[in-house]
């Protein structure tokens, strides 16, 4: 654990103890309506909640390329797949990244359906082929008679992906990892599958530049002193289903928090991937800010209802109601939309009306 983190702990622990005593005695630390306090109850200066809203969705390339087909590629599983027709495409993953990439490449008019996580307004009328959250619906997919399916292992079940392959549809399994480091690589990979490699190079270079510009702007907003950087954690929740997870190393949330200049407390305590929330572990990790998907926060009753999740009310982030949510369609999608996502989250955290302003 970092030296700067250790230096901050006595202040937070003292504050937490004092607030816990006050809560027990007189419900102090909550607003008049029983929700989280509107004023920070300890030294982080973080009080919320806030919703991050991006300035707009990614713009597709101006001059869409004509696919050069057929192409034979080796997908993520090592299997060769030959693509001869991209007129009816499905691009399906948990975060909507693949469909967003197809759209940004100027090939959005080839999409015939979407997953629930694809939030691009121009694609909103396409039929949804996932159900029960992020499960592929084989019948809905086959009814659309796709000529090509791009997907990855962030979504399933695997049996449906195998069923689609067995039906004769070219199914290309893509790399499901999500981080800044692979955005350009994944854009190029999708473009190769679609037979528009030059467009992929053009878009990847554009997005790489936009990411660098966004990172520089965020860096100018983050406190210079590492000891003053916010301790953050990403919570994934679906209250109606009793799903309460926190995301750690390798989940994508760790890279997002790093890009925001925060300290990822889940990674700090050794959590890999995603795990159900352990109340004691969450409290010990000492988060000062929660990042969440908007629908996830709504599913537990907003910032006030979040306090009912075991452990949350005993953290500084919970006491202060310091939570920033963002559209489920964007917050962890990375891909071409990431620069706008990063800037929106930074504004919600560090901006004039941000939680740490």
Domain of residue 81, CATH code: 3.40.50.1980
Question: What pLDDT is attached to residue 41?
Answer: 57
Q: CA–CA separation, 110 vs 86, rounded Å? A: 7
Question: What pLDDT is attached to residue 227?
Answer: 92
Identify whether 65 is part of a domain.
Answer: no
Identify whether 357 is part of a domain.
Answer: no
Q: From 144, 175, 195, give the residue that closes a domain.
A: 195
Which residue carries 């990674």 as its tokens?
267
For 277-329, write each residue's pLDDT tens digit.
999 999 999 999 999 999 999 999 999 999 999 999 999 999 999 999 999 99
Residues 6+ apart with CB under 8 A from 342: 211, 214, 215, 218, 256, 259, 260
Among 244, 245, 249, smallest CA distance to 265 is for 249
Question: What pLDDT is attached to residue 16?
Answer: 42
Question: What pLDDT is attached to residue 42?
Answer: 57
Question: What pLDDT is attached to residue 43?
Answer: 58
Q: Is the same domain home to 126 and 26?
A: no
Residues 6+ apart with CB under 8 A from 27: 34
Question: What pLDDT is attached to residue 38?
Answer: 52
For 75-132, write each residue's pLDDT tens digit.
999 999 999 999 999 999 999 999 999 999 999 999 999 999 999 999 999 999 999 8
Q: Is the same domain home to 323 and 288?
A: yes
Q: Is the same domain home to 308 and 229?
A: yes
Q: HEC string of the chain?
A: CCHHHHHHHHHHHHHHHHHHHHHHHHCCCECCCCCECCCCCCCCCCCCCEEECCCCCCCCCCCCCCCCCCEEEECCCCCEEEECCCCCEEEECCCCHHHHHHHHHHHHHHECCECCCCCCHHHCCCCECEECCCEECHHHHHHCCCCEEEECCCCECHHHHHHHHHCCCCEEECCCCCCHHHHHHHHHHHHHHHCCHHHHHHHHHHHHHHHHHHHHHHHCCCCCCHHHCCEEEEEEEEHHHCEEEEECECCCHHHHHHHCCCEEHHHHCCCECEEECCHHHHHHHCCCEEEEEHHHHHHCCHHHHHCCCCCHHHCHHHHHCCEEEECCCCCCCCHHHHHHHHHHHHHHHHCCCCCCC
CA angle 343, 345, 348 (to 5 degrees): 110
Q: From 195, 210, 240, give the residue that closes a domain.
A: 195
Q: How many CA atoms lie within 13 A of 37 on its CB side?
A: 20
Identify whether 258 is part of a domain.
Answer: yes
Residue 114 domain boundaries: 71-195
Residue 36 clears pLDDT 90, i.e. is over it: no
Q: Is the same domain home to 268 and 312?
A: yes
Among 281, 318, 283, smallest CA distance to 303 is for 318
Predicted confidence band of residue 357 (pLDDT cuts 50, 70, 90): confident
Q: Is the same domain home to 90 and 188?
A: yes
Q: Is the same domain home to 249 and 312?
A: yes
Identify whether 206 is part of a domain.
Answer: no
Question: What pLDDT is attached to residue 327?
Answer: 95
Identify whether 283 is part of a domain.
Answer: yes
Q: Is the same domain home to 120 and 37?
A: no
CA distances from 38 to 50, 69, 92, 233, 276 (A): 11, 58, 40, 20, 28
Question: What pLDDT is attached to residue 14?
Answer: 37
Average pLDDT over residues 40-55: 81
Q: From 195, 214, 234, give the residue that closes a domain.
A: 195
Number of domains in the chain: 2
Average pLDDT over residues 208-230: 96
Q: CA–CA separation, 248 vs 257, rounded Å? A: 10
Identify whether 218 is part of a domain.
Answer: no
Cα torsion 120, 184, 332, 266 to 10°: value is 180
Identify whether 61 is part of a domain.
Answer: no
The most distant pair of C-alpha atoms in the chain lies apart, rounded to whole Å, by 72
Q: Is the same domain home to 47 and 88?
A: no
Q: Is the same domain home to 9 and 98?
A: no
Q: Is the same domain home to 42 and 79?
A: no
C-beta atoms surrounding 124 within 10 Å: 10
Question: What pLDDT is attached to residue 132?
Answer: 84
Q: Is the same domain home to 79 and 47?
A: no
Q: Is the same domain home to 36 and 114?
A: no
Identify whether 14 is part of a domain.
Answer: yes
């Amino acid at each position: 654990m970092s030296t700067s983190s250790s230096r901050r702990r006595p202040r937070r622990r003292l504050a937490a103890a004092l607030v816990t005593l006050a809560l027990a005695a007189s419900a102090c630390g909550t607003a008049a309506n029983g929700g989280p306090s509107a004023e920070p109850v300890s030294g982080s200066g973080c009080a919320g909640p806030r919703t991050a809203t991006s300035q707009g969705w990614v713009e597709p390339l101006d001059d869409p390329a004509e696919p050069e087909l057929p192409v034979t590629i080796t997908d993520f599983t090592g299997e060769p797949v030959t693509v001869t027709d991209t007129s009816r495409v499905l691009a399906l993953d948990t975060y909507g990244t693949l469909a967003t990439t197809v759209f940004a490449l100027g090939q959005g008019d080839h999409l015939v359906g979407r997953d629930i996580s694809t939030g691009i307004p121009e694609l909103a009328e396409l039929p949804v082929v996932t159900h029960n959250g992020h499960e592929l619906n084989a019948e809905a997919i086959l009814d659309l008679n796709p000529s090509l399916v791009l997907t990855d292992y962030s979504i399933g079940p695997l049996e449906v992906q195998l069923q689609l392959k067995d039906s004769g549809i070219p199914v290309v399994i893509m790399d499901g990892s999500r981080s800044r480091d692979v955005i350009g690589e994944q854009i190029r990979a999708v473009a190769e599958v679609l037979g528009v490699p030059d467009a992929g190079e053009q878009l990847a270079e554009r997005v790489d530049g936009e990411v660098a510009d966004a990172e520089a702007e965020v860096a100018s907003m983050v406190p210079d002193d590492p000891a003053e950087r916010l301790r953050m954690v990403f919570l994934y929740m679906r209250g109606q289903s009793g799903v309460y997870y926190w995301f750690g190393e390798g989940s994508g949330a760790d890279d997002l928090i790093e890009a925001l200049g925060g300290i990822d407390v889940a990674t700090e305590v050794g959590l890999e991937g995603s795990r159900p929330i352990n109340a004691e572990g969450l409290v010990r990790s000492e988060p000062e800010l929660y990042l969440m998907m908007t629908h996830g926060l709504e599913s537990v009753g907003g910032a006030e209802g979040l306090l009912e999740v075991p452990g949350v009310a005993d953290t500084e982030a919970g006491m202060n109601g310091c939570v920033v949510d963002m559209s489920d369609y964007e917050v962890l999608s990375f891909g071409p939309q990431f620069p706008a996502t990063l800037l929106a989250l930074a504004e919600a955290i560090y901006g004039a009306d941000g939680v740490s302003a």
